Amino acid sequence: MVRRATGIDEAMSFFQDPPELTNTYQTDHVLQGHLRRTLPAEVLCDIEPELQEMGRLAVELHAQQLANRHDEPRLEAWDAWGNRIDRVHVSALWERAAKLAAEKGLVAIAYERVHGRHSRTHQFALVYLFGPSSDVYTCPLAMTDGAARTLLEHKNQPLIDRAVARLTSRDPARAWTSGQWMTERTGGSDVGLSETVATPSDGGKVAGLPGAYRLQGTKWFTSAITSQMALTLARTAGSPDGGRGLTLFYLEVRDETCALNGIEVNRLKDKLGTRKVPTAELTLDGTLALPVAGVGNGIRNIAPMLNVTRTWNAICAIGCMRRGIDLAVDYANRRVQFGTKLSEKPLHMDTLAGMQAEFEGAFGLAFRVVQLLGAVESGEATAHEERLLRALTPVAKLVTAKQAVLVVSEAIECFGGAGYVEDTGLPTLLRDAQVLPIWEGTTNVLSLDVMRAIARDGALEAFEEEVVSLTSVLQQPRLTDLGRLARKTMAQARGWVVESAERGVLDAEAGARRFALTIGRTLELALLLRHAEWSQTQGDERPTLAARRFAAHGISSIGDELKPDEAKRMFSR
């Protein structure tokens, strides 16, 4: 027995065993069930060894996370002789994660497309396992995936030739990551206010490619400044105000001599969470950059990147929920209070069941978006699937992010005071979860995006069709009852859209968040039910239990609403 405190008789002292992880693929019946239901058997057989290995690595990396808690990024602005070098040092875990991510193909798999429409599921199953052990290395990976997709979508062949092979490389020595520099001091949500200007350079080139502009401005919140390239926005002379007047640019952070491309790193951000991510404030002063898709319509042109990174956000949200629950369940089997293990306490198990139900709902929605993305990218999507992907991406991002904060907060509470103590590593989980509803569009901004998709892209019909098709296959009586609840709530949501449109734009805006959350939870329930129906045929009742508990939490936040002026009056003095 190890003596763990000096001067205390071991026989009289108690030490709590900490929670432990075991291979996070082998112990994850939710992921396994989803893959068995949605993938052809030969695809699952092919990818399962990778999943097993990632589940093993997740445990190993988790131990490294705990051991290197204080290893945070550092900016070395000057060298000994007064030269500005702006070198950013990252943690040892980040260096390892970069190598692993390339070797395991965490971005590449989506572009190699070995398993056709299932390649995105393959990729994101690995990302889901890797994410919570990576100290948010998923951030640069998400942007890298988004950049590759955006360059391909715009068919900019010279930039595809230059960058995409690197962004999707499995060779750590060759692999690049990309930044996504959008936010300025004027706004992270209202990107159309961006002040950075772009002026045609006189013969300037980027990587030997002509037609470069020089950028002048400040980027206020640039995640993962260690990337080799970035996509960014700037306004050319004479362009109109707003997002339409911005242009999407490609730039490389350093030139072939390793000198910074007219970029100064002013400082790294001191943030609540994602502390291992080197997030920087930058000054662009003559940065050479190439337009990706002509001049103008920068926000529309960067949208493919946003949609990919928002999908990563949803997957990372379910990954961190799963991690919190994993640790809390293991702990419940170790911790004894009031005479029995916590796992024997009905109230504690009821609490864990509530968390698990939220996680399983979120899981189904996030992986449905992944499935749709795979179908669209492989050219096999129906018109319904294409419309649904556009509308479901912001819904999944916003609802899963909120669930992640809630579930991870509960997971911390499951440890009592220990969960509040830094060197258990548990507080980091909550801090890192808190970014999920903020970056890549806040809940309110994404709710407005959902309303835009309803107005322009037939999203309401796509949501309805999805709920009907998922619930119409249900046969088990308990599940059909809940299916009726999902359809009823969907009808209520449609009624709200129609009525609020009649009442005017302010009412629709005020209710957008409650509407989007309602749609998200309704679809989560419908997807859970669909999965539960299949699981029953496999003799597995767990998804049915999760669906029942999820429904008991409620799925609608539409009801007796305040009018916008009433909400304002609550704060009148």
For ligand MFK, the nearest residue by Cβ is 243
- Supply angle C-alpha 89, 250, 435, rounded to 5: 50
* 448 contacts 514 by C-beta, under 8 angstroms: no
- Supply angle C-alpha 94, 100, 103, rounded to 5: 145
Cβ distance to ligand MFK smaller for residue 318 or 342: 318
- What is the rounded CA–CA span in Å between residue 524 and residue 526? 5
Cβ distance to ligand MFK smaller for residue 32 or 444: 444
Residue 13: CB atoms within 10 A of its CB come to 10
Q: Which of 21, 37, 223, 227 is nearest to 125 (CA)?
A: 37
- Distances in Å between the Cα of 298 and the Cα atoms of 121, 171, 213 are 30, 32, 15
User: At its nearest, how many Å lie between ligand MFK and the CB of residue 298?
Assistant: 9
Cβ distance to ligand MFK smaller for residue 280 or 412: 280
Cβ distance to ligand MFK smaller for residue 183 or 400: 183
Q: How many residues does the chain have?
A: 573
- Distances in Å between the Cα of 405 and the Cα atoms of 29, 137, 290, 433 are 22, 19, 39, 6
- What is the rounded CA–CA span in Å between residue 291 and residue 159? 10
383 HSE (CA, 13 A, CB side): 3
Cβ distance to ligand MFK smaller for residue 21 or 142: 142
User: At its nearest, how many Å lie between ligand MFK and the CB of residue 302?
Assistant: 8
3-state secondary structure of 209: strand
User: At its nearest, how many Å lie between ligand MFK and the CB of residue 239?
Assistant: 13
User: At its nearest, how many Å lie between ligand MFK and the CB of residue 226?
Assistant: 13
Query: Would you tell me which residues interact with ligand MFK (CB under 6 A)?
Result: 138-139, 142-143, 180, 182-183, 188-189, 191-192, 223, 242-243, 297, 299-300, 303, 306-307, 309, 312-313, 316, 439-441, 445, 449, 452
Cβ distance to ligand MFK smaller for residue 191 or 547: 191
Amino acid at 136: V
Gyration radius of the chain over CA positions: 24
User: At its nearest, how many Å lie between ligand MFK and the CB of residue 446?
Assistant: 7
- Supply angle C-alpha 215, 286, 154, rounded to 5: 40
Q: Which of 218, 210, 250, 215 is nearest to 235 (CA)?
A: 215
Cβ distance to ligand MFK smaller for residue 209 or 295: 295
User: At its nearest, how many Å lie between ligand MFK and the CB of residue 408?
Assistant: 14
User: At its nearest, how many Å lie between ligand MFK and the CB of residue 188?
Assistant: 6
- What is the rounded CA–CA span in Å between residue 107 and residue 137? 12
User: In the chain, how many H helices and how many E strands?
Assistant: 19, 11
Which two structure tokens, joined as six digits, stand for 248?
Answer: 């999407």
User: At its nearest, how many Å lie between ligand MFK and the CB of residue 417?
Assistant: 29
Q: Which residues, including other chains, have CB under 8 Å from residue 352's CB and lie 6 or more apart?
A: 325, 328, 329, 332, 414
User: At its nearest, how many Å lie between ligand MFK and the CB of residue 347?
Assistant: 33
Cβ distance to ligand MFK smaller for residue 318 or 546: 318
Cβ distance to ligand MFK smaller for residue 184 or 326: 184
Per the listing, tokens 């260690």 go with 226
User: At its nearest, how many Å lie between ligand MFK and the CB of residue 124?
Assistant: 11
Cβ distance to ligand MFK smaller for residue 111 or 124: 124
